[in-house]
Amino acid sequence: MPGIDNPILTANDVTDYGAVDYVADPFLFIEDGTAHLFFEVVNSNRDPDAVIGHAIAHDHQHWEYNQVVLAKDAHTSFPFVWKYDGQYYMTPPTGKDVELWTTSQASFPGGWEFSHHLIDRDYYSHDPVVFRYRDRWWLITDRGNEELMIYYSSTLAQTDWTPHPQNPVATHRHGARQGGRPLVIGETPYLFTQDLRDVYGEAIHGWRVTELTTKRFAYEHVGTVLSGTGDGWNKRRMHHYDPWPVADDRWLCAVDGAPDNGRTWSIGLYQASPP
C-alpha cells in the first residue's frame, strides 16, 4: 500500500509480553477516524502462550503498538471484533467453546468481559466468525479443519445456538476453516477460508454464499484471495484476510504472512478496490 512499509507489526513491536515469537490473525476496527488493530500475540514461554494485542493508527499508515487487551487462562487467537447497538463484541475461540466477550464505548479497546457461550460442542471450534444476515445471527466455524459448521440464533444473547440441519454443510480442506472477516454485500454473504490441503497457512480463498437459510446452505468458490508472494516477509504463507471499507472506492485489508514454515508470522496492510 502506498505510504506503508509492510509489515506494519512484528513480534519485536510487542513490548509487554516478553520475547514474543510472532503476531498473527489481525482484525481491523475503524471508527471516528481512528484505526484499531486486534491480533494474536504468541510467546511459547508464557502461560498462556497466546493473548490478544492492540495497535492504533490515526492515519491508517503509521501504527503504534498499544498493549495486551485480553489475556484468558488459555491460548487465545483470532480476535474477531464487531459492534452492534453501541456494544463491542469479540469471539476469541477457546477449545470446544465459542465464547462471546463484550466491552463498552467507555472501555474500548480494552475492558473485555466474558458474556456467555454461543456454542459448546464435542469438537474444537477453530476461528469462528459471526455476522447478521436476514434478521438472524449466523456463526460459522469448522470441525477438524475440513468440515464447515453453521449455527444460528435470533439474538446474540442466546446460548447454545441452533445447529444447521445440514451440518457439516460442506467438506473441503480449503473451504472450511475461516480465515478472516465475512462480508455481506447487498444480499450476498462472502466467506474467506484457509487453504489447508498441503500445509498450514498456505493461502486464503474467497467463497460466495448462494443460499443461506435455516434449512439450506450452498456456496461457490470465487478464487484465491491471498498466497505467498515469493519474496520478503510473506514469501511462503498468508493465512488471514480482514477487509474494511474506508471510502466508496477503497478498502483496507489487514493480512498476515510468513517467509518460512509459519513460525515467524507478521502483519501487513493492503489497499484494495471494493470486492
pLDDT of residue 54: 98
**Residue 261 binned pLDDT confidence (cut-offs 50, 70, 90):** confident
CA 38 to chain centre: 9
C-alpha 251/C-alpha 273 separation (Å) is 6
Domain for residue 1, yes or no? no
pLDDT digit string (tens) for 229-251?
999 999 999 999 999 998 888 89
For residues 39-44, give the mean pLDDT.
Answer: 98
- For residue 229, tell me if it sits in a domain: yes
Q: What is the pLDDT of residues 131-142, one digit of tens each?
A: 999 999 999 999
User: Does residue 64 lie in a domain region?
Assistant: yes
For residues 193 and 271, the model is more confident at 193
Asked if 40 and 79 touch (Cβ cutoff 8 Å), the reply is yes
Domain tally for the chain?
Answer: 1
The alpha carbon dihedral of 79, 85, 87, 91 has a sign of negative
Q: Which of 48, 24, 46 is nearest to 37 (CA)?
A: 24
Amino acid letter at 155? T
Residues 108 and 110: their CA atoms lie apart, in Å, by 5
Residue 184, number of CB atoms within 10 A of its CB: 15
**Has residue 146 been placed in a domain?**
yes
- In the DSSP assignment, the letter for residue 164 is P
> Domain residues for 226?
11-272
pLDDT value at position 178? 97
The residue among 102, 168, 166, 162 whose CA lies nearest residue 141 is 168
Half-sphere exposure of 254 (CA within 13 A, CB side): 33
Considering only residues 146 and 4, tell me which one the structure prediction assigns the higher pLDDT.
Answer: 146
Query: Within a domain: residue 132?
Result: yes
Average pLDDT of 43-61?
94
* Residue 180 placed within a domain: yes
Say if 3 falls within a structural domain.
no
Q: Which residue has the cell 511462503?
A: 236
Following DSSP, what letter does each residue of 28-49 receive, concatenated?
EEEETTEEEEEEEEE-TTSSSS
Of 194, 207, 243, 203, the residue nearest 29 (C-alpha): 243
Whether 4 is covered by a domain: the verdict is no
pLDDT tens across 64-123, in order?
999 999 999 999 999 999 999 999 999 998 777 899 999 999 999 999 999 999 998 888
CATH number at residue 28: 2.115.10.20
Among 163, 172, 175, residue whose Cα is nearest residue 224: 175
Give me 125's grid cell. 471450534
pLDDT recorded at residue 9? 97
Provide the pLDDT for residue 52: 98
What angle is formed at CA 120 by the lines to CA 118 and CA 126, rounded to 5 degrees?
Answer: 85
Nearest to 152 by CA among 143, 171, 165, 168: 165
Give dist(CA 150, CA 262) in Å, integer. 28
- Does the predicted model carry a pTM greater than 0.85? yes
User: What is the average pLDDT across 4-23?
Assistant: 96
